[in-house]
Amino acid sequence: MKANVIVHKDFALSAIDDRIYSSFLEHLGRAIYTGIYEPGHPTADADGFRGDVIDLVRAINTPYVRYPGGNFVSAYNWEDGIGPREDRPTRLDLAWKTRDNNAVGVNEFVDWCKKAGTNPMLAINLGSRGLDAARNFVEYCNHPGGSYWSDLRRKHGWADPHNVKLWCLGNEMDGPWQVGHKTADEYGRLANETAKALRLFDRSLELIVCGSSNSDMPTYPQWEATVLEHTYDSVDHISLHMYFANVEHDTLGYLAKAEKLDRYIGTIAGVIDFIKAKKRSKRNVTISFDEWNVWYHSREADKKILEGDVWPDEPHLLEDIYNFEDVLQVGGILNTFIRRADRVKIACIAQLVNVIAPIMTEKGGPAWKQTIYYPFLYASLYGRGTALNAVVDGPTYDSAFGDDIPYLDLSAVRSTAGDALTFFVVNRHLTDSLDLSASLQGFAGARVVEHIQMTHPDLRAVNTAANPDNVAPKTVSGTIVEDGTLKSKLPPLSYNVIRLA
């Protein structure tokens, strides 16, 4: 099998917003408790944050972390998480059937972000609460002092404002499972009035309104059109979510779902353009894809907790153990975000630690990298700069989702300084290697710096605490540039990062 690619240094799709490498931590299962926060753990610092987890998070350089939910936020009282710990209430979380003693709240989370080299992206409860709680929350976080809420923050020990820029106006408000679920008109009006109030406080905030929970929702994509009719002039981004599964054990069909993601983004870009034209607006609303990942491995196990009445603390919920096949899927998802960098300005892998996450921990024990840690790491490290318009001519296949799915899934990124070019490439073919030939136009003298590759004889292979390096990248040789053409042989079912400079 052969695939030909042409890239030109100046044929750009779009600048890539670094925020597409953001992530998400929810008060859910063991994401916070025994994930990032575990006083008494051998690596914990004076604030109780696990140092081993901070090291793994720092390494992936994720610019923003969304918090505190997710479904959790729709019945969350942010005030429960502030002030002296001994006065904080223990609450029942309706979304995840869990008890939460609120040992971590917004101030601790902001502290953790600083230690982990990232920034907070906060979600507001527009399910059980509304505009008033939202405006108080923003004032508590961002006002320097001299008002009731800002002085309360200062009294709690945080003299400087947190200056949180990104605010999500609720979570998945189209979903009947959401506490305080609303129709598009109900939500659109509430989101617009909340956005207006927050802008009266600070015009420079970036506000994210809820789009659909996924593209199979019965209200999709009318939901986006109605919500944007209400909010177009007062928000910056519309949020989308998508999770991927391979319950059928159909690898080619599974990997084709990255194309479904592409269509989802394209459809919502069209809805945005439609409302923009209707409103005769100059404003460009963009997409915040603030929940995405593979999620299916743990669904059966979770039923016991979610359907019971036990209300455990820090339960093992949504602890998907990722396999090698998921590396290929995550690589394809990230390629899609890079190719759609003109419309997607924020994306959050959901989530970051323990809960459908690239990082796993054991209580009192080690932290380790799941298989999907690696494609996220490399995209975040080398996928910054400008997405190039790579033209790909190669073989395709038909799937249940759609036809003409390319076996070669590729994105090309020119570094910000312009002197480096990186290809992220997945060969989706089950059995055949792919001879890649890429004409490098405008990259005179480019040579291969490194070819990082992930392959494994077993698609179901996973990393565990006992065997954390079972699925890991390696550097391979044989990839060359000859007469301005990159040549490489990509093994079947492989994930590749080819770095040139």
Which residues have a catalytic role annotated?
172, 291
Distant-in-sequence, close-in-space partners of 128: CB < 8 Å, separation ≥ 6: 74, 75, 179, 180
Nearest approach, Cβ of 74 to ligand AHR (angstroms)? 9
Helix (H, G, I), strand (E, B) or coil at 244: strand
Instruction: Choose the stretch contacting ligand AHR; rule: CB under 6 A; options: 63-71, 142-150, 256-264, 452-460.
Output: 63-71
- The tokens for 176 are 């009947």
Q: Tokens 């995550």 map to which residue? A: 330
Question: In this complex, which beta carbon is closest to ligand AHR, that of residue 119 or of residue 351?
Answer: 351
Question: Is 294 or 367 the residue whose CB approaches ligand AHR more closely?
Answer: 294
The distance of closest approach from Cβ of residue 181 to ligand AHR in the complex, given in angstroms and rounded to an integer, is 12
- Residue 359: how many CB atoms within 10 A of its CB? 26
CB of 26 to ligand AHR, least distance (A): 5
If you search the block for the tokens 């100046």, which residue do you land on?
10
Token code pair at residue 166: 């990104």
Q: Note whether 171 binds ligand AHR by CB under 6 A.
A: yes
**Tokens 């994720």, located at residue:** 62
> Least separation, in Å, of the C-beta of 69 and ligand AHR?
5
Please, what is the minimum distance in Å from the beta carbon of residue 73 to ligand AHR?
8
Residue linked to tokens 């390494």: 59
Measured from the CB atom, the residue of 7 and 352 that comes closer to ligand AHR is 352
Closest CA to 480 of 448, 449, 451, 450: 448
> Interaction with ligand AHR in 450-469: which residues (CB under 6 A)?
none
Please, which residue, 140 or 187, has the CB nearer to ligand AHR?
Answer: 187
Which run of H or E residues covers position 114?
helix 106-116
Q: Which stretch binds ligand AHR (CB under 6 A): 6-14, 67-75, 297-305, 362-370?
A: 67-75
In terms of Cα–Cα distance, which of 117, 155, 153, 70 is closest to 355? 70
Residues with Cβ within 8 Å of 402's Cβ and at least 6 positions away in sequence, in order, are 256, 259, 260, 263
Site string for ligand AHR, 273-312 (x = CB under 6 A): ------------------x---------------------
Judged by CB under 6 A, the number of residues near ligand AHR is: 10
Q: How distant, in Å, are the alpha carbons of 16, 68, 209, 353 from that of 193?
A: 31, 22, 12, 34
Q: Does residue 100 interact with ligand AHR by CB under 6 A?
A: no
69 scored as a contact of ligand AHR (CB under 6 A): yes
Report the Cα–Cα distance between both ends of the chain, in Å, rounded.
Answer: 27
Q: Does 172 bind ligand AHR (CB under 6 A)?
A: yes
Query: What residue is closest to ligand AHR based on CB?
Result: 70
In angstroms, the CA 406 to CA 394 distance is 7
Q: Work out how close the CB of 325 gets to ligand AHR at its nearest, in angstroms, rounded to a whole number.
A: 20
Q: State in angstroms the smallest separation of the CB of 351 from ligand AHR.
A: 6
Considering only residues 307-346, where is the footprint of ligand AHR by CB under 6 A? Answer: none
The window from 69-77, 99-107, 192-200, 474-482 that contacts ligand AHR (CB under 6 A) reads: 69-77
Main-chain dihedrals φ then ψ at residue 387, nearest 5 degrees? -80, 125
Q: Which of 258, 344, 350, 500 binds ligand AHR (CB under 6 A)?
A: 350
Q: Please tell me the distance from the alpha carbon of residue 194 to that of residue 124, in angstroms, as a whole number.
A: 10
Per-residue string for binding with ligand AHR, 212-231, x by CB under 6 A? -x------------------
Please state the three-class secondary structure of 297-347 as a single string. CCHHHHHHHHCCCCCCECCCCCCCCCEHHHHHHHHHHHHHHHHCCCCEEEE
331 closest CA partner among 265, 422, 426: 426
Q: How far is the CB of 459 from ligand AHR (least distance, A)?
A: 24
**CB nearer ligand AHR, residue 213 or residue 361:** 213
Q: Which is nearer to ligand AHR, 170 or 473 (CB)?
A: 170
Q: Is the dihedral of CA 310, 315, 321, 326 positive or negative?
A: positive
Of 18 and 290, which CB lies nearer to ligand AHR in the complex structure?
290
Toward ligand AHR, which CB reaches closer, 213 or 494? 213
Strand order in the sheet with 391-393: 391-393, 2-8, 434-441, 485-490, 480-482
Q: Which stretch binds ligand AHR (CB under 6 A): 64-72, 150-158, 333-341, 485-493?
A: 64-72
Regarding 26 and contact with ligand AHR (CB under 6 A), the answer is yes
Q: Are 172 and 213 in contact (CB under 8 A)?
A: yes
> Quick one: 215 or 479, whose CB is closer to ligand AHR?
215
Cis, bond preceding 478 (omega within 30 deg of 0): no
What's the min distance (Å) between Cβ of 295 and ligand AHR? 7
> Which strand (E) or helix (H) includes residue 425?
strand 421-427
Choice between 71 and 354, CB closer to ligand AHR? 71
Q: Does 52 bind ligand AHR (CB under 6 A)?
A: no
**Region of 66-74, 262-270, 302-310, 422-430 interacting with ligand AHR (CB under 6 A):** 66-74
Among 118, 119, 351, 380, binds ligand AHR (CB under 6 A): 351
Residues in contact with ligand AHR by the rule CB under 6 A: 26, 69-71, 171-172, 213, 291, 350-351
